[in-house]
Structure 1
């Protein structure tokens, strides 16, 4: 009996997590996540390489984040009719996470249809609808931690606390005489709300995330993190503008609310007005409140009912926030790629009295990463925006283990008799973690699968590549793509043309740019006619 693995996503990128295990024709998925970030990556959501979803026997979901769950509705829409196994907390969160994603897909399709520069293209259909998303949620099957279950014929599995977000789990698998651990996303030690990650030892193969494989964070207690947050809030309020915080709706927003509630109770931030402008975050907060008895670090109180915190759901109320000053505005999405955070950035980035605070990972190619990397102007919904606001960052809110914590988690799974396979990381992070994890006596053999590759997982032997993946998948995971380069050029083009003082020279520059584009288009057309690849 041969067990194989195909990586459909999260290969040299941190989104689109999806592992397909195949035991003599019986197929099992662990996660089915959406690609986020660059436009090239997002295009993979419509062609992610999962063939014949109707022949997949089972799905196990590690947690509710969209980069791990966001393509489940498409999987069901395309024919998958089985169960989706996950923890009860993940199932509770997934109802709102997937429904929100479906609404975003529908809104994106409507917006694309309205754009003048896209009217000549075929109608843009949503990836899936809200109703289709809820159909996928109804396929969830709640499974407790530590309980063995059979997600597909020939497979045994059980879930272990991953310490990442509410309900997050690592997946232990046994199939064809092979024992495997899939980390999912691993949380850091001493994270708010959750116990530290756990799991058994002794595997043939371990598949581990590597988001922060090249970073060791300065250790900070929850009290020290709150001091840092209080200092930023105080400074931002003194300037008179708003403090805008892009935050993931799930977990990051709730951690911020915990800290803000504690700071407010202690009088550390005065009478700060806090607005959570994200219906999804507000639904997720309701789920956290329902599981309050399972959460750590709350001091015995309900932090989500603090009088300092106001929950915004109505669109008109959200728009009214654009007219105020001196407020703390928490909005999704965390990487600024969608949602209400974009109009708050549009109205605050150009204000010298405002502050934008980043408290989460920003993937390469995302708007948040561009701002954090020091862009002087950015493009939001087709409009140029100068960046004059102060940009701040707190790293200690991360829900991901850093390099030392990942290495400790890997060591706790030893002995790893076959291979340690790394996924869910950008190239630098993966290569750095691979070098460290594969060093020293007793170290495992380390493999870094690329997206679309097929690997054989044999008991007690290193993983063996059977087939390479399509080259376009590897190119999609590159740090930048033409859409990023275009956005950078478009946002600065008018400014650069205005720097040319002479009108005649300016017109000549425009003509030469047109000539370059026309000549390249002709070159590509010629290559296609003779059958070669441009």
Structure 2
């Protein structure tokens, strides 16, 4: 029986997750995410899919983050009519995130077309519209963790908690029938042990092939306790010195809710009571409602804390929710005593850019970067020490203090990735995706250093690579471009 896996996204880069399984002629897509980064990167989202969307039998979605889900509506626009299998909470979050993405696509295209009209250029179409999103949402099939289902004649799937964001999943896939059956485990994005709100990532025992993310394959995060000390120092110093505002670019799903929880827990210790805290993101506010409504998926500490404080939900108790544009604009007149959590997490859109215009040039302001910043994004430029940013067509000097708090990352670091892989029995073959080349090279070397746990085969996926899964644990590539990817 034919059994292949081909890689079309998040290959030697972090965004655009997209991998295609073909088992017995039936094709199942793992994720269908937006490419994020600079303008040139984002333009690649308009490229035709390197497969026929109408021939895809099913999609399995690991989680709601837009670099994993963001091209689903485009897939439907191009002819896909099948189901999208995903965890129940992920479907609820996609209802928010994909609508927001469509709105941004339509607004961005409208602005571009106004400029093109001045030069008599042909109008462009948005990548997808709200109508396309409405259609794809009707195709979602919701699953609970631990529920094993058949998504194609020769493919069964089970989702387990990945601990990354609400609803995030490690995907187990059983391909074909015994005795030739192969088992593939796709990590999706792996979270970290001991982080607040969510359960730890699920360990899986058996696999013939592990498809694993590698975002932080070359670094170790600060411990959670050290991270709390670091945050306390930033807030207490800023507040005691009566400095300006604190801006926190945050992903609307996951990071924003984590920050709300921390502010609830440590308001007194961090001396936050004298400061005004605002969640200035309509999407993050809606996502917070989804978190509140999915109480059973939280970790025991969070549930215990909520039971001990009835009527005072830890995600709803400490911050003002700023929904309207008018309310957001009013915050621009405040120059001290304000903490603003706003999207986007990589600073390439959303209301955080407006707050940068009014605060980034002020030496009294503080910016806390607390998530992964892709190459080419304004957030990455700040982390790398940029002296100015271009925002809404104008140059803004960077005079604010920039704090990079890596310990807040929702991605596993190198040690946590290795620990998760080493839980598998018999050191299965592994392929790295969802990482930049430097991080992947370091991680694959670390995987192969220990003879006792060295993978049977290991490789870094390249775009277009096609692997013959029937030959596992040996890697047999079905295209010449793949010869250099094996380690």
* TM-score, normalization by structure 1: 0.84
- For residue 394 of structure 1, report the CA deviation from its aligned partner: 1.3
Superposition pairs of residues 123-202 of structure 1, within 5 angstroms:
123-176=123-176, 177-202=181-206
- Mapped contact 1:179–1:459 kept (Cα < 8 A): no
1:459: Cα distance to partner? 4.9
Shift of 1:382: 1.6
1:60 partnered with 2:77: no
Gaps of 5+ in 2: none
- Tell me how far apart the structure 1 counterparts of residues 272 and 49 of structure 2 sit (CA, whole Å): 50
1:398 counterpart = 2:409 = yes
In 2, distance between residues paired with 1:328 and 1:175?
Answer: 50
Whole-Å separation in 2 of the counterparts to 1:122 and 1:116 = 7
Deviation at 1:267, TM superposition (A): 6.8
How far the C-alpha of 1:135 sits from its partner, in A, is: 1.9
1:107-506 matches, within 5 Å, as: 107-115=107-115, 119-176=119-176, 177-221=181-225, 224-237=226-239, 238-264=241-267, 268-296=271-299, 297-298=301-302, 299-300=305-306, 301=309, 302-306=313-317, 308-325=318-335, 326-417=337-428, 419-439=429-449, 440-444=451-455, 445-467=457-479
Deviations 1:56-109 (A, max 9, x none): 000111100000000001111111111111111111111101111111101111
CA pair 51-191 structure 1, distance change in 2 beyond 3 A: same
Tell me, in whole angstroms, the C-alpha distance in 2 between the residues paired with 1:469 and 1:11.
13
Q: Aligned pairs, how many?
A: 467
Distance in 1, matches of 2:28 and 2:481, equals: 19
Deviation per CA, 1:375-429: give whole Å up to 9, x if none. Answer: 1112112211111111112111111110011001111123244x21000000011
Alignment RMSD (CA, Å): 1.9
Q: Distance in 2 between matches of 1:442 and 1:209?
A: 18
How far apart, in 1, do the equivalents of 2:187 and 2:233 lie? 35
- Aligned counterparts of 1:401 and 1:468: Cα–Cα separation in 2: 32
Stretches of structure 1 that go unaligned for 5 or more consecutive residues are 475-534
CA contact (8 A) 1:243 1:355 kept: yes
Whole-Å separation in 2 of the counterparts to 1:447 and 1:121: 45
Larger Rg: 1
Change (3 A) 1:467 1:99: same
**Are residues 333 and 117 of structure 1, via their aligned partners in 2, closer, same or farther at CA, if it must alter by over 3 Å?**
farther
Counterpart contact for 1:276–1:312, Cα < 8 Å? yes
- 3-state SS of 1:466 partner: coil
Q: Relative to 1, partners in 2 of residues 1:403 and 1:442: Cα closer, same or farther, differing over 3 Å?
A: closer
Counterparts of 2:421 and 2:205, CA distance in 1:
9
Q: TM-score, normalised by structure 2?
A: 0.92
Q: Is the 8 A contact 1:154 1:175 kept in 2?
A: yes
Q: Aligned in 2, Cα 1:118/1:428: closer, same or farther, shift over 3 Å?
A: farther
Alpha-carbon distance in structure 2 between the residues aligned to 1:83 and 1:133: 14
Q: Distance in 2 between matches of 1:79 and 1:116?
A: 28
Q: Structure 1 97/268 Cα, relative in aligned 2: closer, same or farther at 3 Å?
A: same
Report the CA distance between 1:226 and its aligned residue: 3.5
